[in-house]
Each structure stands twice: as C-alpha cells, then as structure tokens.
Structure 1
Amino acid sequence: MAVINRIAGFADEMTAWRRHLHAHPEIGFDCHETAAFVVERLQEFGIEKIETGIAESGVVAVIEGQGDGPCIGLRADMDALPMEEVTGLDYASKMPGKMHACGHDGHTTMLLAAAKYLAETRNFAGKVVLIFQPAEEGPGGGRVMVEEGVLSRHAVDQVYALHTLPGAPEGTFETTPGPIMAAVDSLHVDVIGQGGHGAFPHETRDPVIAAVAIVQAIQTIVTRNRNPLDDLVISVTQIHTGSADNIIPESAYINATIRTFSPEVQAMVHRRLREVADGTAAAHGVRAEVRIDLGYPATLNDGEKTSFAADVAREVVGADAVIADRTREMGAEDFSYMLQERPGCYLFLGQGEGPGLHHPGFNFNDAVAPVGASFFARLVERAQPMSGAN
C-alpha cells in the first residue's frame, strides 16, 4: 500500500488549505480564526460532533465508525511563531510579526485531509477523536486540553501526532520507542547587589562580576555533576544588566534553558542550580534570587504503539523510508502531556531539504501532506478494523 488514492486525489485542495493557513498565522492560545477555518472544513466533510473553545481556541471533532469499538486520538497543533517571515512567497504571512515557521499549518492540513477521508469512508470500528490544539509553542495548549478533559471525556485509548522534519528525505518517517524529545525547564536568576559609580567599585557590591561567575559555574553541572551517559543541556541564553559605562548596576538577570530526559537528572540539576547560584553570589557579597519554571515534560513514546505506528508508516512509504530507532533529541513538545495520559507515538515526517524549523525562511513542503494524511487514515483503519477486516 502507498499513499491512499482518494487522499492523493484532493492534494490540490490540501495545498489551498495549507497556504491559506500559512498566510493567516496566529500565536499562542489566540488561534480563533484558524479554529473557525478548521470547523468550517469539518462541517463540509459532514462531521457533526464538533467541540470548540477548548483551551480557549482548540477544536475537537468526533467521527463515528461502523460498530462498537475503541477510540483513537489524532492531534495537530495550529499555532505559529512570533517572528517575521522572509520567504517572499505569494502566500507569505499577512500578519506582521507572526509566521508559520514550524509547520503547524501543514500539521493541521494533514489532519483535516485525514478527517475528510475518514468521514467519507468510515472504514473502521469505534470512533476517532480529532484534536486541533493551540499554543504548542507555549505556554502549553496540550496540557490545558488534557486538563479540560479531552482524552477522558471521549474515552480515548491511544494518541498519535506527526511533526514535519526539514533535512530528512521527503516522505520518510522517523520515530523511536521511549524518550524521543526532552523535558524543558527555564532558569531565572536575579543577582542583587549594590550599585554605584564605576570609578569606585570598592564602594559597591558588583552584581555583574557575580553574574558572570554564576554563568561560568553553571557549566560545571554538566561536566562534573552529571553521569556522562545521561543526556543534559543547560544553555544560558540571556544576561541583562547595566545602563551606562560608568555605573555599576544594582542587579543583573540570567536566563537559561534546561533540557533533560531523566527525572533524577532533572531533580539534580534543579538542586545544583540553586546551590551554585546561592553559593557564588554569597562569595561575591551579593544575593541570588532563583526561580525555575517547569516546562514541558519529556515526550515518551509507548513501545508497543511505536512499533505499530512504524508498521503503518512502512505500509504507506515502504520499509526503507522508515527509521524506527532514531536518536532522541533535546527539543521539547507539549504532546508529551497527552502521552503521559495515554499510550501512543510521536513521529517525524521528512520534508526534504530547506531552511530548518523556526527559521524565517521555512516553508512546509506541500508534497508530503498526502503522505501524512494517509498515515493518519491508515493508522485508524489498522488500529480499529471493522469486524472481519484486517
């Protein structure tokens, strides 16, 4: 089996949907126009059970199959990024400072296409729950949708999601059992000193020197406190302080991102960050106020569901085009909240060469949309076959 013929037949329609979404990006939880577009398409497909306003602008639709059976959930994220587009495309973003630079326009399109096919054929038992989610890029629409009962209310048994992957060969799939993406937390340190004249540093308690020392000391957590076999990234990404060359400021601010897979490593890092910041600050006669914001947990694929999803992907694109043991990565994804609640699998779909994710020149490859949609559709048919079907 390859790309489903019926889905390939409305590839042009999919391209039109995707390019409309690309030209009209929305960010965070404010995806109301995108949601309205999704609802309009779902209604055109004859889908009647549609819920709106979940996690502010999320959409959930239910397609009933033929006969009793379990319930599978398919998720697509809808939100864009707060950045300027530089592609020069005729369907480039019309919204200043907003851009679909992570392929969520393509994700939404692929799930819509699968919905159209599944609503036409109903070649499955039980039901399918289509989850169109806002705020994946932050602050976590997936968590809110789980908290608002999307999975429990519809008795979803398993969940799946796709993400485009630039740089991987067009139309290939990559996934792995267990951890596939990292947990992400944010470190905030305010270093409080005593400012004064730059010509008389002995009369001050300099937060700048202390902040620099804290940043340097943080790196020892990775090199000296971590087992080399455990993955860990701590990247300091911001230092803000000062206003003039002759003023020692009162305070300095440090920001960092923390990426882990193991809860034990995560706990160790949080503890050591506080110890390093407090101790280094004290050594410099200043004070450190440390805050660690918990972000998305690690994305953990279920082993059995991952094996199943890889088999379905092989049906669609062939065995040579599926990598089922890819190396896990330090990016993060809020589909992790759904995988905490239900077994399932997160997969990447190769889209060929071009600018990477979150790049101002990125553009989703429309040629792979029928591949992703066919995967979603066949996943449902294989997971929930009608009586007598295979």
Structure 2
Amino acid sequence: MTHAETAPHPLITKDIMATELEELVEFLHHGNSQIRQIAAENLVGYTTAQPSLFKRNQLEPIKDLKLLIKDYTDIAKNAILMLINLTDDEEVRENLAKDDAFLEALLLRITSSKEPHANELAMLLANLGKSDSITRILTLERAVPKELSTSKVAMDQLMDCFVKGAEGRYNKHADYDYLSYLFADIAKHAEGRKYLTTPQPYDAEIIPITKLIVFTEHKSAIRRRGVASTIKNTCFDVEAHPALMDTDKVNLMPYILLPLMGSEEYNDEDMDGMLDEVQLLPPDKARDSQPDIMSIHLDTLLLLTTTKAGRDEMRKIKVYPIVRECHLHVEDEEVRERCDRIVQMLMRKEEGEEEDIPEGAPKSRVQEIEEDEEEQVTSIL
C-alpha cells in the first residue's frame, strides 16, 4: 500500500542529531497539546526514514501513537499517518493488530458518519489485515452503529460501511475504498472465504460477495483492485465455484468479464451462449485502465478453470472469444501470458475425448497461483 507522506517537516533539518529526534519522540506524550502537535507534525517523515526511533523502550512511542488517534484533529491525523507507515514493521503491526482496545478504537471511528479521518483509518486497518489475528473481526461483536448497520458483528459493519459509504454517501469525509484491501486479506483465510460466500441472516440472506462484485468497474482504481483481489482469493475455495458461477446465486462471471472487454463486435457464433450482460456493449466501452487489475481477473478465471464443471460452464458462455480479444488488444506481457493459459485450459480436450491435452498445458493452476499469491498480495496491498 502506498505510504503516507514521507518528507520530514521543513522545521526539521537533515542535520538534526539523533538525540534531538529521541527527545522529539518523547514529546508525543507531553501534557501540552501544542507540543504534542509539533512533535507529531515533525515526526511523520521519520516513520519511514528512521522507523527504529519508534521502537524504543519496548515500543513506548507506539503506545503514545495509539492514544493520539483520539487526540485533537490535527494531532490525530499525523498519528494515524505515522502508524500507517510503521505497520511495514511486523513487530509494530502485530502489536497493533492484537490490541483489542486499539482495534475497537479504530472500528468506532471508521464506522462513524462524522469521522474526518475515516479513509486514513481504513488504510491503517487494511495494513493490519496482513496479521492473521485480524480475522477475529469475522466474529467480533460490538455496539451497533445504528445509522450504518443492524448487525453487532464487526465484519458486517465494515461491509456496510464499504457499500453504503462509497463516494461519500455515508461520511462526507470518506469513500472507504481501502477497506477492499482488508477484505482481500480476510479472503486469504478459509473462514474469510466462508463468510463471503455464506448468506447472512442480518442482511436478508444476501451473500456478502455479491455486494462487492458490483464494484469491479467502479471509477476508483483502489476499490476495483481491492475487490478484484477479494474475488480472486475467494475463488481459492473450489467448493464455492458452482455457487459463484450460478446466475441465480452469486452470478460472478459478468463482473469479472466486463473489465476485460472493450467495444469489439463478435460474430454470431462467438455470441451464441454469451451472458446477456456482456452482449451489445456500447461503442465507448473500455477495458480496465490498469493492467494489474486485469491480470487479477484473469487469475480468477484461471482458478475457475481448475474443475471440469468450471471449464464446461466457461465454454458454454463463450469466455474464450472474450479472452482472445483481450489478448489481441492489450499490450501487456502479464495480461497476455494469462490469456494464453486460459486459452490452453479452455481449448484443450478433456479426459476421455479423442485428442490428447496439448503438450505444456497447465494441469494445476491452483498450485501455481498459490505459490505466487503472497508476493502478489503484498504488491497489491
């Protein structure tokens, strides 16, 4: 994830002595708010330049920063920016993620319709998603923010925040796009994938992933990328593939195909069987502008080809012509390489058919993608 501002404040010179910086860090818990503000303001850049400063005395500065997110607005914002940067460090990240009181402080503010720093807090929470311990939000119960949700479960509240809060509709200060990166990390865990594919009683039995897939063509690249990664990680649950592809359940396919499609026209043979949602697109229809997001969607298609039922369904709805056109019109090596793999999976003969599988056709893309997953998610998130 892109870090917050990294340049030291102009009042701090590059020649500042280490002892002076240590003294400045001590001012984070000063009783005078003006002094705390000056310290916080001047130290933001050093969270990336000299992060070890904030691990002194058994992470005492981190303890100070946890409290400062509740301070006056300007102090709180700088404290949040510092914590965003410092979560690059695993020790700091685990310290924050495992602190129940701190997690509640984050949730309280993120779910508030008046919180001025909700986006920065969402980014911080998304960074904490790299810790396995954050999966407790799937069952964690807390007070219900009545303007937002009817559920006591933290994960439900965050989902409602993301959906209802898009483009400042819930909180004029926030769009909550970074929560999609949190969901992507949650979907790396079996319990997270189960949540995303299970109808939720509090929400009229709606399947949570259906509330996310509608954002695959959203104007925000952050939201699109996070949602695409969430979908991909959810598709590691092979048993969920039938429901994900079922037009009467999740109906995932049009939402991952449309970002791969432009305004090309298809002949009648190619269109015979295509989903209604991907036919007769407007002349100004454009593919996703970000090749890395297209690559994520193509990885999702590859995961869906790992079962015969998935391959058969994709042949039936004519995924091949769509991938073919994507390969022809996108000049990106990773996108084209993934298109080639999908074509191999869809055009090869199945076991028992007359022809053999073409030499070199991939046999287990789940294993290949799993091996690359950690690196890919880190670069995305």
| TM-score interval for Structure 1 and Structure 2 normalised by the shorter chain | under 0.3
Higher strand share: 1
TM-score, normalised relative to structure 2: 0.27
Q: Which has the higher helix share?
A: 2
Could you tell me the TM-score, scaled by structure 1's length?
Answer: 0.27
